[in-house]
Amino acid sequence: MILRPSASASRTTVLIVGWLPALAWAGVLFAGSSTATPALGWLAGLFEGADKLIHFGLYVILGGLLCRALLYTGSAKRRRLWIALGALLGAAYGASDEFHQSFVTGRYSEYLDLLADSLGSLSGALAWGWLAGRSGRNGLDCVPPADRGESAASVDSDRRSGVC
């Protein structure tokens, strides 16, 4: 479970804990697309379309991590917005990655790869959002009402509506 930052956490700490995993994974994807031979290239030859499944799987992770970062650093009441934005950011990163690959010797850009990246990102963001919503607290531990300066009544109302 991801802990919601405490009211006393510095903005820098919140940004690092929230965004570092997503940025690190984006770096892994960039490094992987910068080589003439993909690191997972041996899997692509297993069957027709395996490379699309690889793209999909890699971007499921990115979409989930982006949604996690947005939920961690943003308002828990905007869960649907963060899911959509996580999916869109992942798809945009997929587009930039395909563009980047068009400049790498031995690699090429393909629209079906971008489609797999986009669907993977959407799936990852939806999965993280679903898991977060299923917990009833947006997948984040709630900061106690006293720490947020809220009354117990507003917190009870939020919990009934599925918001932290």
Tell me the domain boundaries of the chain: 43-140
pTM given for the model:
0.75
Res 72: pLDDT: 83
Residues 6+ apart with CB under 8 A from 86: 63, 64, 66, 67, 68, 69, 70, 121, 124, 125, 128, 129
Query: Looking at residue 145, what is its pLDDT?
Result: 42
> 12-64, pLDDT tens digit by residue?
887 888 899 999 999 999 998 888 776 666 566 667 778 889 899 999 999 99
Reported confidence tier of residue 89, pLDDT bands at 50, 70, 90: very high
- 10 Å CB burial of residue 4 (0-12, 13-18, 19+) is buried
